[in-house]
Each structure stands twice: as structure tokens, then as C-alpha cells.
Amino acid sequence: MIRVMLVDDQELLRAGFRMVLGAQPDVDVVAEAADGVTALELLDRVEVDVVLMDVRMPRMDGVEATRRIDGPKVLILTTFDLDEYALAAIKAGAAGFLLKDVPPADLVNAIRQVHAGDAVVSPRTLRRMLDRFAAQLPVEELPAATELTPREREVLLMVARGLSNMEIAGRLEVAEATVKTHLGRVLAKLGLRDRAQVVVYAYEAGLVVPSHRPKG
């Protein structure tokens, strides 16, 4: 059973999500909050696997709340005009983002994917978002990709291009488990949380250029 917390200051939206998720045999909505402060307080008392998090809320927004969450996976709720906040949340540790008008089936599938340890943001979609907002983001010192082996760098670039583990395994002619091992080492060496942050890193480090073609 996947334990989900809903965090949104709009009660009607929470009710809608609760209705959709309540119909799933493997999903249980165990907590709700109207702001980030309440969400963090509840997480001290309630076991949660996935947090469905709004971005703009009173008292504490979703970006700051995501930064403070340790353990549960976070899915950010956003609208088209709030993509920059979603990107900031991904950099803060969110596993991905969803649009608030996401079809019910896609919402449920996204929660299952995140619970399984994957990111739900299509890297191609994330790159389009990065193209639009990268210039507004502060430049941070990034860990060097020189610590990666040639194969790890190859996997990083393929992830940045939007390939799944299965597709990468096919390209490299290795087992999917081997790809997961390489990706795990990439995350550990670069201090990244998931493949969504890999795409952010690849873009900001200049490994992926605006034309969407990886360097090297």
C-alpha cells in the first residue's frame, strides 16, 4: 500500500485527488495539509511514502517544504505559469512535477512510479522547462563530472537525453540492472537525488546545450 499525503491550500482540489486515489487498491491517503508548515508537522507523526505537494501556499510554500522533507518522495503540483517554481522544487529534492489538471490515470501512475524509485518528469519536458527558466536561476558551483567513469558519463548523458533504463540497457547491450548500478553511482558521486536532478545537472554543467544535444 502506497501511503500518500495531499498538501494543497485548495480544499476542493484535495477532495478531487482524494476521490481519485481512494478508488485505487494500492493507494491510501493517510494525511492532508493546507500548507507546508502543517505538512512538516504531520510528517513527524504519520508514515508517508509520497507527498503530493502544491507550490504556492500560505505560511510555507511547496519549494521550501520540499527542501525540508527527508524520506518521503515529493511530487510537485504546478500549472503552466508556475514552471519556474516546479524547477526550483526539483532542485530542492522533488522527484518530479505534475500539472494540476493531470488525467486521473496519469496521476495514479506517477505516484506508483515515484514510489518505485523513479522520477515522473519526462526529461524531455524538463529540458523544455530548463530552456525557458535556466537564465533566471542562480549559478551554483557544481560537482565535477570528472569523477565519473566513461561508462557512468555515458549513462548520465543518455538519462539527460530522456532515455529510460531499459532503453539505455538496449543501447549499451547490458542488463537493466547494470544500468541501475551505473546510475546509482552517478547519483552518489554527484550528490544528486534522482534522474530528474541528473537532467538539471547535465544542463547546468553544460553537458546538454540548448539545442538538446549532449556534449561529448
If we measure between CA atoms, which residue out of 126, 172, 128, 203 comes closest to residue 183? Answer: 172
Strand intervals (E) in 24-171: 27-33, 50-54, 73-78, 96-99
| Alpha carbon distances (Å) from 26 to 3, 21, 66, 73, 112 | 9, 9, 24, 16, 9
The answer to whether residues 152 and 186 touch, using CB atoms and an 8 Å cutoff, is: yes
Instruction: Specify the pLDDT at position 166.
Output: 86
3-state helix, strand, coil in the chain (%, to 5): 50, 15, 35
Q: What is the pTM of this model?
A: 0.69
CA angle 24-29-31, nearest 5°?
A: 175
Instruction: Specify the pLDDT at position 213.
Output: 45
pLDDT tens for each residue of the chain, 216 residues long = 999 999 999 999 899 999 999 899 999 999 999 999 999 999 999 999 999 998 888 889 888 999 999 889 999 887 755 556 667 777 788 887 877 888 888 889 889 988 887 777 655 566 666 666 555 555 555 667 778 899 999 999 888 877 888 889 999 999 989 999 999 999 999 888 777 778 778 877 777 665 444 444
C-alpha cell of 46?
504519520
Q: Number of C-alpha atoms within 13 angstroms, CB side, residue 192?
A: 25
